[in-house]
Each structure stands twice: as C-alpha cells, then as structure tokens.
Amino acid sequence: MGNGTYRRIVLASRPAAEPAESDFRIEEAPIPEPGPREVLVRVIYLSLDPYMRGRMRDVKSYAPSVGIGEVMTGGTVGEVVKSNHPDFKVGDIVEDSLGWQEFAIGGGPKLRKVDPSIAPISTANGVLGMPGLTAYFGLFEIGQPKAGETVLVSAASGAVGQVVGQLAKIAGCRVVGVAGGARKCAFVRDELGFDSCIDYKAENDLDRAVRAACPNGVDVYFDNVGGTVSDAAFRNMNFWGRIALCGAISQYNLASPELGPRLLGLFVGRRVRMQGFIVFDFALRYEAALAQLGRWVRDGRIRYREDIVQGLDKAPAAFIGLLRGENFGKLQVQLGPDPTGR
Amino acid sequence: MGNGTYRRIVLASRPAAEPAESDFRIEEAPIPEPGPREVLVRVIYLSLDPYMRGRMRDVKSYAPSVGIGEVMTGGTVGEVVKSNHPDFKVGDIVEDSLGWQEFAIGGGPKLRKVDPSIAPISTANGVLGMPGLTAYFGLFEIGQPKAGETVLVSAASGAVGQVVGQLAKIAGCRVVGVAGGARKCAFVRDELGFDSCIDYKAENDLDRAVRAACPNGVDVYFDNVGGTVSDAAFRNMNFWGRIALCGAISQYNLASPELGPRLLGLFVGRRVRMQGFIVFDFALRYEAALAQLGRWVRDGRIRYREDIVQGLDKAPAAFIGLLRGENFGKLQVQLGPDPTGR
C-alpha cells in the first residue's frame, strides 16, 4: 500500500518500582489502512498522565493493563489523514485514546471532533479533556463545595489540580493548593488565583502548614497525591468534610504500600466522607461539562499551563519525570506539526 | 432532706495510653432532690461503651470531654424514684445518659420511658438502645446493603456488631464477622446466624482470611475497630463498595497514631466510599427504628448477648477490659436490683 512507517512505544517490561526508560521500547511499523467507518489519525499531541503507571501493572483494575509488547495507552489529539467514516473528514482535529504512537486507527465510540476555534487543540488532552473533566466532576459531584467553604487541592499545579482550584474559586470557595517548589506555588497563587499555596517540599510540618493556610479547617480535600500531604489534610478536615480521591501519585512507584499514620479514626466523629471516583463514570455528561469548561476558558475564568515536550522518543523520560513531579503543568508530548498553531 | 448518699465515679486523671483503675475515683455524695419537671432516677444498668475512651481525652470532638473530677458520661437504664415531671411517675423504667453513678437527676430531652414488656430493660442500653440504633442507621443509611451483597463486620460479637450482622442477614446479604477468639466466633456463627466469622487472633494473614470468607469480595464493611482488620477489609473491597466508619477501638488507647500501610489508593479505581457517622445524627428517627428493632427482637429475628458485671466499683476494670476486647457481648454494669427481672 505504500503508506510508509510510523513509530510507536510499547511496554517492554513491568517495573517493580520507578519505571526506567528500558521498560519502554520504540518500534517501527507500517502505517495501517483504515477499514469501513474508520479513520487514520496522525497523532499531534500525546497526553502523559499518572494513571498510566497503573496500566503498567499486571493487576485487575478499572481498566485493563497494557500487555508486554503492546502499545502504551494514552489520550491523543490528532488530525484525520484518511477517512472512511461519514462523520469525520480529512483535516478534522480529533481526540481519542489512541496510545503512544504517531499514527493510529480511530473510529470507536470515544472518537470526538475538537473545535480549534475555542482554544489550542492540545487542551483537548488537558483543561478541555480528561483532566479538566476529572476536575469538574470530581470537585462538583464528589467534593460538593459550597460557597464560603475551604477547598484544599493537592498537586495544585498539575493537569487536574489547576482546574479544580479555579472551579472552586468560581464556586465561591476559599482555595488552598499544595505543590512542590516555589515556582509552582507562585504560579498557583499568582496566575491561577488560588488564595494560598503550600510548598510541600519546603515545609517540615505539613499539618501546621495546612492549619495555617486553612484557618477555618478543610471542607473539601481534592486528593491527587496521597501520602504525607493527605495525612496533613486528614488532620485538618472539618466536620462533614468531603474527600474526593482522584489519585495517589506519591504511591504509584512503590512496590508495596508504604506505612503512614492511621488517621481514619478522626473521620468517625467528624463524619468525613471519602469517595474514590473515575471520570468515566460521568461520560454521559462530558459534552455538557466540556461546553461549560470551554466557555470559562474562553472567558479567561479558567487559565491553564501545559508542559509540552517534543518527539515521541522523549515520552518515556517525560513520563518518568511526571511521576517525580518534574513537569510543570499538563504534560504532553508533541509528535508532529500542529496545523492549527504551534 | 435525709435522702442518704450514693456512689459515683469521676475521672481522676487523663490516661496517655491504656487507662488504669487509678484514672477513676469513686466518690460518695448526698442523693439530690429533683427540681420542677425533673425526676430522680435510681440507675440499674450502666452501659460501658468504647466511645467513652474519647471522652477521657482533652480534645475537641463531637461531644464535650469529661473534665477532671466530673462524673464519667454513660448511658443508663433506671427506675424513677421521685418525680416532679408530668410525663414520668415513680416506678417508670427510663433510659438516658446519666453517667457512672447510682442516682441521678433526669428530665432532659433525651429521657425516655422503656417498655419492660418488649425485652429485658437492660436492652435499652444495647440492642434496643444506642448500640442497636448505631447498627441500624450505620448499616442501612451509610452502608446501604443490597440483597445478595457481602457485608463484613468487625467486632462482630460486640454491642453494635452483633446487631449489624443480623440486620444485614434480614436484608438478604451474605454476612461475615470478625471477632477475637473461637468462642466469640462460634457465637457469631451459631447463635447470631452469620455466614462466617474470622477469628482475627488466630489468623496470621487477615487479607487471605477475608478473601477466603468473602469469595465475591466485600461490598459493605462496617468498621468498629480500625487497624489491621481494616487493612484486610480495604484490600478486599469491591468496586462501589461502602465503608461505614463507626469506631476504631484498636486505636483508642494509643498515645499517637500507629503506622499502617497506605491503602487508600485502592479506593480510587474501585470507587469506594467511606463515611464516618455518629448515631446522634439520626435522632429524629430513633423512635421508628426502635419500634422496628423491638419487633425483630420480639420475633426472635434479632438475638443479642449481654455481658453484665455487678456493682459500680467494677466499672473501671470492666471498661479497661472492654478496650482490650475482654467482654463478650454488650457490656453493662448492674448497679442495683432490677424490679422487672434479674
């Protein structure tokens, strides 16, 4: 057929702790041909997200794990370059979870068109994609903030955290972030408009730091990290507080659970509610949420920061850095030219 | 006035860890005279419950702590011996939280009459009192069991646990208890009708024991203990599982939180919901719940076991034993003759 070849990254081995670049392998393969009701997508932006660490494990979870030799899963924004699908034409910008690869066949139920007039198309992997939706439903449905309450957000400069905090401000809350390093904290306060941000790397008493930043206690804790930051949050939860468990990135590279203080006894008398959630559960309402998030982004009420690295071969190192907190904003890999912008 | 004297137990000092008998002091005082709309109650049964350990701490909680020199709080069933209250007459059996003392003045909003024809009056401190109500609302409102689901209950032979499990059986669930020792487990299975009971003292792999006893996983975990039993429950929670946090008796005597494995990351993908609760929150519905519990007790659908020690002076040692799990069934202290029975 003469389509040429493309590159993709497969899982080479399952890391026991922190992944190494050798756990990934770059492969070349012939560009496939779309079948009936399918499209061929040239991937422009690949999203790198903490949940991918879970897919590298061989354990039952809410989604199947990636097999050895299989392409790593991942959200993608790309351009339709061939189409046998009546709803998509060549040149359309689309979003789907097509994995760590330069080309892929799309056409499943999750394939959706991205409107480049609203915001840069990379945002379909970020504030106007899965992370933004996670923030939206996690905060509003699970956290249920009320005006005047205090919302604490961990990984506040990250893809989800930055949206959570701004949504909570829109909802009339006092918002406190937790982030690693002075630069991230300054961004969270000055650019995103959080009321305060705790630099967890600079604090040796996180309990006291949270208490100082949240003088009225914590009503909603949106947790992306687990570990010692969560310990401090738990100690400061208010009566009838709610905890939205979105992730626990501090634990993802551990071969077995680390030890931490048992604090759940605090939740009895304080009637704290803790709820794990996955954004998929809200799929029927994605469209409405994206429309709302899009308006807020266009109006400048939600700002966002992306951290974009160049080239598929950089994906493994960038992903390893993500799990160390080295990225600053929504991490993505640009695999090829973006015809709509950069 | 010539009423004579009575004995009461006050908090002498705040224990840092396990309470000692010397943390309590027995006092004698003149029997008081009821004022307008008050009654004088001769306490017959004093309830001993794990929550009392929290009242001995000088920390903000959902209820005020007991001051040094103040009478220990506690639920009581007694007999009205003098009345200036139009709704109560001499000889009425009443329940209220009147504390660790042989006589007390009642008349507050929580004073209620106990019907001796339904069950022995001591049950007003147990299956037909606060512990039974805790089981009822905690299981149905927080745990929300559905027929066919698996319900795991810790401290299964205790005052709350024994009722939780039987209610879950009535609701059509598979019910597994956790208790300490072969005698308690046999009681839970053979007398209370649980499907299975794990002896946590005899198991060195609680995770495996829970998995074996709950082959379909745990849908509802009703937690009275915290600690390692909860670790095993957490590891076996099903998708959309619910955890009713009722207590954490394994932690109550610790000066500072012990360390345990961080397992909350499991709850994200499994969408587990954990909720602390206090029975007081359901006070408007006590009467309806007690009527229902009373019918089930009368019909033999709910059985119960009480562990009654004799004499106020035995209360401190019995309470210390309760925190060690030495009681077998709902622990009470009988302070004087029961005109309705024993």
Which of B257, B265, B270 minimises the CB distance to A262?
A: B257
Q: What is the pLDDT of residues A171-214, one digit of tens each?
A: 999 999 999 999 999 999 999 999 999 999 999 999 999 999 99
Tell me whether B280 touches chain A (CB under 8 Å): no
Tell me whether B22 touches chain A (CB under 8 Å): no
Residues A160 and A68 placed together within one structural domain of the fold: no
Which of A267, A270, A276 minimises the CB distance to B267?
A: A276
Q: Do B262 and A259 touch (CB under 8 A)?
A: yes
Q: Do A269 and B245 touch (CB under 8 A)?
A: no
Residues A107 and A218 placed together within one structural domain of the fold: no
Per-residue pLDDT of chain B (342 residues; tens, 9 = 90+): 457 999 999 999 999 999 999 999 999 999 999 999 999 999 999 999 999 999 999 987 788 899 999 999 999 999 999 999 999 999 999 999 999 999 999 999 999 999 999 999 999 999 999 999 999 999 999 999 999 999 999 999 999 999 999 999 999 999 999 999 999 999 999 999 999 999 999 999 999 999 999 999 999 999 999 999 999 999 999 999 999 999 999 999 999 999 999 999 999 999 999 999 999 999 999 999 999 999 999 999 999 999 999 999 999 999 999 999 999 999 999 999 999 986
* C-alpha A108 chain-centroid distance: 22
pTM: 0.95
Instruction: Tell me if A186 is assigned to some domain.
Output: yes
Task: Calculate the alpha carbon distances from B89 to B85, B113, B337 in Å.
Answer: 7, 10, 19
Q: Do A248 and B239 touch (CB under 8 A)?
A: no
List all residues of chain B from 150 to 179 with a beta carbon under 8 Å from chain A. none
Q: Which of A280, A295, A321 is the last residue of a domain?
A: A280
Q: Which residues contact A153 (CB under 8 A, 6 or more apart)?
A: A161, A164, A165, A168, A175, A176, A177, A178, A194, A221, A222, A224
- Dist. CA B126–CA B118, nearest whole Å: 13
Q: Which two three-digit tokens encode residue A26?
A: 């770059």
SS3 (DSSP) at A194: coil
Residues B207 and B92 placed together within one structural domain of the fold: no
Is a pLDDT exceeding 90 seen at residue A26?
yes
Instruction: Tell me if A295 is assigned to some domain.
Output: no
- Dist. CA A20–CA A39, nearest whole Å: 33
- Dist. CA B332–CA B156, nearest whole Å: 17
Q: Where are the alpha helices (DSSP H) in B189-328?
A: 206-213, 227-235, 266-270, 286-298, 315-323
DSSP annotation of B32 reads: P
Q: Which residues contact B272 (CB under 8 A, 6 or more apart)?
A: A275, A276, B234, B237, B240, B241, B242, B243, B266
User: How do beta strands A112-113 and B196-199 pair?
Assistant: unpaired
Q: Do B273 and A274 touch (CB under 8 A)?
A: yes
What is the percentage of chain A residues whose pLDDT exceeds 90?
A: 96
Residues A172 and A191 placed together within one structural domain of the fold: yes
- Dist. CA A250–CA A225, nearest whole Å: 5
- Which chain B residues are closer than 8 Å to A267 by Cβ? 245, 274-276
Check residue A271 and give its pLDDT. 97
- Which chain A residues are closer than 8 Å to B230 by Cβ? 264
Check residue A228 and give its pLDDT. 97
- Which chain B residues are closer than 8 Å to A62 by Cβ? 239, 269-271
Instruction: Tell me if A221 is assigned to some domain.
Output: yes
Average confidence (pLDDT) over A281-300: 96
Check residue B3 and give its pLDDT. 72
SS3 (DSSP) at A43: strand
DSSP annotation of B106 reads: E
Q: What CATH number should be reported for the domain holding residue A195?
A: 3.40.50.720
- Dist. CA B254–CA A241, nearest whole Å: 24
Q: What CATH number should be reported for the domain holding residue B29?
A: 3.90.180.10
Q: Do A272 and B275 touch (CB under 8 A)?
A: yes
Q: What is the pLDDT of residues A103-136, one digit of tens each?
A: 999 999 999 999 999 999 999 999 999 999 999 9
Query: Are B278 and B62 spatial neighbours (Cβ–Cβ below 8 Å)?
Result: yes
Q: Do A264 and B54 touch (CB under 8 A)?
A: no
Instruction: Tell me if A339 is assigned to some domain.
Output: no
CA angle B205, B209, B215 (to 5 degrees): 145
Tell me whether A247 touches chain B (CB under 8 Å): yes
Best mutation site among A52, A234, A262, A281 for testing chain B: the one with the most B CBs within 10 Å?
A: A262
Among chain A residues, CA nearest to B138: A268
Q: What is the pLDDT of residues A221-262, one digit of tens each?
A: 999 999 999 999 999 999 999 999 999 999 999 999 999 999
pLDDT band at residue A342 under the 50/70/90 scheme: low
Q: Do A274 and B270 touch (CB under 8 A)?
A: no
Q: Which residues contact A177 (CB under 8 A, 6 or more apart)?
A: A152, A153, A154, A156, A157, A161, A165, A185, A188, A189, A192, A194, A196, A197, A198
Q: Do A274 and B275 touch (CB under 8 A)?
A: yes
Instruction: Tell me if A149 is assigned to some domain.
Output: yes
Instruction: Tell me if B286 is assigned to some domain.
Output: no
Tell me whether B278 touches chain A (CB under 8 Å): yes
DSSP annotation of B203 reads: -
Instruction: Tell me if B298 is assigned to some domain.
Output: no
Query: Are B226 and A230 spatial neighbours (Cβ–Cβ below 8 Å)?
Result: no
- Dist. CA A97–CA B144, nearest whole Å: 35
- Dist. CA A180–CA A203, nearest whole Å: 10
Residues B188 and B122 placed together within one structural domain of the fold: no
- Dist. CA A117–CA B335, nearest whole Å: 79
Among chain B residues, CA nearest to A271: B276
Distance from the A317 Cα atom to the nearest Cα atom in chain B, whole angstroms: 24
Q: Which domain holds residue A102?
A: 5-126+304-334
Best mutation site among B142, B211, B242, B245 for testing chain A: the one with the most A CBs within 10 Å?
A: B245
- Which chain B residues are closer than 8 Å to A61 by Cβ? 269
Check residue A131 and give its pLDDT. 98
List all residues of chain B from 66 to 95 with a beta carbon under 8 Å from chain A. none
Tell me whether B62 touches chain A (CB under 8 Å): yes
Residues B32 and B171 placed together within one structural domain of the fold: no
- Dist. CA B313–CA B23, nearest whole Å: 13
Residues B136 and B117 placed together within one structural domain of the fold: no
Which of B230, B265, B271 minimises the CB distance to A226?
A: B265
- Dist. CA A126–CA A128, nearest whole Å: 5
- Which chain B residues are closer than 8 Å to A256 by Cβ? 261
Indicate the average pLDDT of chain A.
96
pLDDT band at residue A60 under the 50/70/90 scheme: confident
Closest CA to A330 of A16, A48, A39, A25: A48
Residues B35 and B115 placed together within one structural domain of the fold: yes
- Which chain B residues are closer than 8 Å to A227 by Cβ? 262
- Which chain A residues are closer than 8 Å to B267 by Cβ? 245, 274-276
- Dist. CA B332–CA A278, nearest whole Å: 46
Query: Are A74 and A48 spatial neighbours (Cβ–Cβ below 8 Å)?
Result: yes
Domains contained in chain B, number: 2
Q: What is the dihedral of CA B175, B178, B183, B189, to 10 degrees?
A: 10
Residues B264 and B322 placed together within one structural domain of the fold: no
Query: Are A216 and A239 spatial neighbours (Cβ–Cβ below 8 Å)?
Result: no
User: How do beta strands B330-334 and B306-310 pair?
Assistant: parallel
Residues B175 and B271 placed together within one structural domain of the fold: yes
Q: Which residues contact A297 (CB under 8 A, 6 or more apart)?
A: A118, A119, A123, A127, A128, A304
Among chain B residues, CA nearest to A245: B268
User: How do beta strands A39-47 and A218-223 pair?
Assistant: unpaired
Is a pLDDT exceeding 80 seen at residue A294?
yes
- Dist. CA A286–CA A279, nearest whole Å: 9
Is a pLDDT exceeding 80 seen at residue A1?
no
- Dist. CA A200–CA A195, nearest whole Å: 16
Instruction: Tell me if B342 is assigned to some domain.
Output: no
Query: Are B33 and B77 spatial neighbours (Cβ–Cβ below 8 Å)?
Result: no
Residues B211 and B164 placed together within one structural domain of the fold: yes
Q: What is the ipTM of this complex?
A: 0.94
Q: Do A268 and B245 touch (CB under 8 A)?
A: yes
Among chain A residues, CA nearest to B55: A269
Sign of CA dihedral B122, B124, B130, B135: positive
- Which chain A residues are closer than 8 Å to B261 by Cβ? 256-260
Query: Are B239 and B216 spatial neighbours (Cβ–Cβ below 8 Å)?
Result: no
Q: Do B257 and A275 touch (CB under 8 A)?
A: no
DSSP annotation of A14 reads: -
A–B interface: beta-carbon pairs under 8 A: 120
Residues B135 and B79 placed together within one structural domain of the fold: no
- Dist. CA A216–CA A90, nearest whole Å: 55
Q: Where are the alpha helices (DSSP H) in A57-129?
A: none
- Which chain A residues are closer than 8 Å to B277 by Cβ? 268, 271
Residue B307 φ then ψ, to 5°: -125, 100
Best mutation site among B62, B225, B268 for testing chain A: the one with the most A CBs within 10 Å?
A: B268
Burial of B204 (0-12, 13-18, 19+ CB in 10 A): exposed
